[in-house]
Amino acid sequence: MKDITDLFSQSYTPFKALVFYQNEKDDLYVESYDMDALGKPINAHPLSQRESKALSESLLSKQENSSDFLCSTGLLSDQVLYVDRSIDGYAIWYTPEMKSHLIFKSDLGISDGEAYLPPLLWKASKSGLSLWALANNDRPIMESTLYQAPFFNLSTDGRVCMGNVNINFSLNVDIDSFISQWQKLYFGSAFSHLLQDISPVKGNIVQLWQQQIGTENPFPKKQLKRFPKLLKDII
């Protein structure tokens, strides 16, 4: 038989072996072995916390990288700007001016209802969302100026406080479903308060939405506050 070993571009050598022991009560004990230069197990010892952590991170990384997280089931929408499919991956997309139904806590004194929103820039991972406003409906570029999103429950860096909203995305969620679910979660939760009592708009944000809800008025972009970073700075 012909030796084809040299045709392989990578070689793998054993460096660690794990032996799992089990008793009659199904209790498990794991012993770790280092490997010598000849590939023989040496230095037997109980699996340490450091080794357990390294193994767990390795398995998690392989699981997530082999998933379909943020894959596309077809052509990418023009609204998708950036996709990072790594372990802590995220997507960035934008929405042009649109009308949406907004929900407010009763103590704000703002009626629930539909209103026009400015163009928005979204950045979301499996566990969190950040949101900004844009100056126009053009597809953003790296140098696009960002503005603070004119909503409640937002920190000054754009992060959204989702409160007790249940956020649970599958490792196999595709990019279109991911975007749709995040927007549904966001507009399906109630706006309740200003974080750190800092208004994200020029003027009174309560009065702003009182005047916008239930009207056909476009969002007054002159009320937007400029954000100190550009789109390229949040990628």
Can you spell out the DSSP letters for 59-119? Answer: HHHHHHHTS-TT--SSSPPTTEEEEE-STT-EEEEEE-SEEEEE-B-GGGT---EEEEE--
pTM beyond 0.85, yes or no: no
Joined tokens for residue 60: 């998690």
Residue for token pair 């998690």 = 60
Element (H, E) at 53: helix 49-65
- Number of other CB atoms surrounding residue 169 within 10 Å: 17
Cα dihedral 138, 142, 147, 149 in deg (nearest 10): 80
Cα–Cα nearest to 127, from 150, 159, 100, 98: 159
Q: What is the pLDDT of residue 66?
A: 46
Query: Could you give the CA distance from residue 43 to residue 183 in angstroms, rounded to a whole number?
Result: 54
pLDDT along the chain (235 residues), means of 10: 50 78 79 81 83 68 63 91 90 98 97 98 96 98 98 97 87 93 96 94 97 97 98 97
Look at the alpha carbons of 118, 124, 126, 127 in this order and tell me if their dihedral is positive or negative: negative
Q: What is the pLDDT of residue 3?
A: 54
- Number of other CB atoms surrounding residue 53 within 10 Å: 10
List of residues 6+ apart from 174 with CB closer than 8 A: 68, 70, 71, 72, 73
